[in-house]
Structure 1
Amino acid sequence: MNFAELSVWLNCLLFAVTAIGVWWAGSKLSIYVDLIAERTGLGRAFAGALLLGGATSLPEIATTVTASASGAATLAGTNLVGGIAMQIVVLAVLDAVVLRRKALTFFSPQAALLMQAAMLIQLLGWFIAANSSGEFFTFAHIGLWPVLLFAAYLLALWVIYRYEDRSRWEPAGEVGQPPESARDLKDVHDQAYAEVSTKQVGIYFGMAALVVLGCGYLVARLGETLAAQTGIGQGIVGATLVALVTSLPEVSTTWSAFRFGAYNMATANILGTNCLTLALFLPADLAYRKGPIIDALGPSASFLAALGIMTTSIYLWGVLERRDRTVFGMGIDSAVVLVLYVVGLVIYASISQS
């Protein structure tokens, strides 16, 4: 279907419909992953990083490959890098909306989350090095940097898996408990799926993931069309509108995980998804036929990556410090993340159009 033949308003409506589809399917994923982690013995942080992070990254995969194959390298690249800081902001918003005058990082004292944040910062540093230096080796239009990013992601995943049960860091002081309503809601989920086998839960998980993937593909096509119809530009559309919609699975799954008190899994979902996001430059490079995709990105992409490092570091600080101090109904670290992100978007808008 050629969306360019439709009016901009109809495309906006279709964009909204696909966004709702992404949200609905994503809200189911966290429930299924929590059940799988509990029944199989997988740690919730690792399950959040691998299963939930992988499934909620399907829109980014569909968007990235589709945009790259059509030659929209800027849209693909800014969607990936721009979505990292945006998904950290998801934690800040839900901190304010769900916890209400409690700090998220007070309820997330797991050492595996520290390792995930450290690995994400490492991967973002690799991307900045790639974007700053450009490709220095290519083979069949595929650059070396995306291969190195993918390999670094696999290494990070292995480190996180090994660290989950062998951590040498333990939180001091009282370990915060989730609100009573969260524990009650988790019990409701457990009872609702008590008669459902683990195999069936896995099938439900796969079906929800397919819905997320299909809607993500449509988001990519519609986002590219809207960028052309509105004249806003691929960079701004990719870093904001498309990144927002492809982040909806993370928003909905994190929201659901917050509601039943799985704060470690919720945070691990965001950090794990962000790590996987940077590995997606390899399929993007494979799909982009005009040369190495790293060379097609402007220097402003490094600013988005730096913004991701700054927002991630703030939460790393929050988990390490673990103080239940709030401002405006959210943890101080969440408030700082929100301010930093808004200022960062204003700066990015100015440098990307200069």
Structure 2
Amino acid sequence: MIILSFSISAIVVIIGAIYLNQFGDVISKKTSLSGAAVGTFLIAGATSLPEVTTSITAVYIDNADIAVGNMLGSNVFNLLIIAVMDVLYRKQRLFQAVSARANIPTASIGLLFMITLIVALFRPGTIELFNIGIEMLVIFVLYFLYVFFTSSSGEQEEDVPEKDYSKRSAVVGFIIAAVVVFISGSVLSISGDRLAQVTGMNASFVGSILIAAATSLPELVAVLAAIRYSNYSIAIGSILGSNLFNIQILALTDVFYRKEPILKAVATSNLYTACLGIFMTLVVMYSLLRANKNQNTLVYATPSIIMVVVYLVVSYMLF
């Protein structure tokens, strides 16, 4: 029954998040919220709502491992999506078809965030302010500065075509989808917590792999849509940007976790996921920066294949 509840809630989260993305895109284009900054925040918030609800619910039921594991796991699963797509569409050479200059800054900030989290996880204690880890405050400030300077550049990306809706239908649909995702996301966390207790599985594994995969599948759909329309820059840029936003959600969970800084309450097994995130980010950066040589498709796809293999190995270790 718990497995059925977990599976159904995961499917509902995925479907709801896909509609959230579609409706949010229409709202940002057809209302006064169409400014770049607000529109981007709306879409980012829409696609990340599953992570928000699952992590906040995990905090409410006092399972910090699922809350933290969900966010770290979502980031590595997002990078896995890019790696798998790069292998499947290796003839298109995704990493060589986009601008390294446009994506390296985002990847570098994400790398810095992950290093900050690992340092905090390694430390036996942490500096705290109002029971919030100082590393979370640092991450929030860095993200704010990054968004400020990025937005001031005035660059806009090409949109992936979406099904058109009227403004009223989009607003109503967005609200309904948000409620559905909120409820199903909460059920997903609660059933995941129960699944870990009943089966004896590591809570970090449940959060980092099972729940993270379920909440990240909407990103997979978005990446597939972008690749379908040959918008490779959106496919890669949206994943790297989503990872930055996910870390901010982790900072938000620290605010709601009032006992102590949340990273002090999690198992050391979360270090595996965090280190995996650093490794995969470095491989992505290498793939973006390496010279455009005339390699055959197998040689080109080797870094992405390594990412997939290492992800599977770490997942097995967590299990």
Partner of 1:228: 197
Matched, 1:250 2:192: no
Look up the match of 1:145: 135
- Which amino acid in the other structure matches residue 242 of structure 2? T
Match of 1:157 in 2: 147
- 1:272 paired residue among 228, 241, 265: 241
1:217 aligns with 2:186: yes
1:118 aligns with 2:108: yes
User: TM-score of the superposition, structure 1-length normalised?
Assistant: 0.76
CA distance in 2, matches of 1:41, 1:143: 33
**Is the 1:92–1:334 contact (alpha carbons within 8 Å) kept by the matching residues of 2?**
yes
Measure how far apart 1:72 and its partner are.
0.7
CA distance in 2, matches of 1:199, 1:272: 29
Alignment check: 8 A CA contact 1:120 1:274 kept? yes
Match for residue 90 of structure 1? 81
Instruction: Measure, in 1, the Cα distance between the counterparts of 2:44 and 2:117.
Output: 20
Quote the Cα distance in structure 2 between the aligned partners of 1:242 and 1:347.
17
Q: Matches of 1:330 and 1:11 in 2, distance apart? A: 43
Contact kept in structure 2, 1:56 and 1:209, CA below 8 Å: no
Asked if 2 retains the 8 angstrom alpha-carbon contact of 1:112 and 1:164, the reply is no
Could you list the runs of 5+ residues in structure 1 that have no partner in the other structure? 1-9, 167-182, 350-354
Q: CA deviation at 1:219?
A: 1.1
Over the matched positions of the two proteins, sequence identity in percent amounts to 27
The equivalent position to 1:107 in structure 2, one of 94, 97, 121, is: 97
Deviations 1:31-69 (A, max 9, x none): 5566677785849xx977x44433222111111111112
Distance 2:97 2:20 in 1: 22
Alignment correspondent of 1:309: 278
1:331 is matched with which residue: 289, 294, 301? 301
Instruction: Give the superposition deviation at 1:21.
Output: 1.9
RMSD of equivalent CA atoms: 3.3
Deviations, residues 193-248 of structure 1 (Å, cap 9, x unaligned): 2xx45675566455444433332222111111111111112122111111111212
Q: How far apart, in 2, do the equivalents of 1:163 and 1:127 lie?
A: 28
Indicate whether 1:345 and 2:315 are aligned: yes
Match of 1:6 in 2: none
Offset at 1:335?
Answer: 1.7
| Number of residue-to-residue matches in the alignment | 314
| TM-score (normalised: structure 2) | 0.83
Q: Which amino acid is 2:81 matched to? A: V
2:241 maps to a residue whose letter is: G
Contact 1:30 1:257 in 2 (8 A): no
Distance across 2 between alignment mates of 1:107 and 1:161: 23
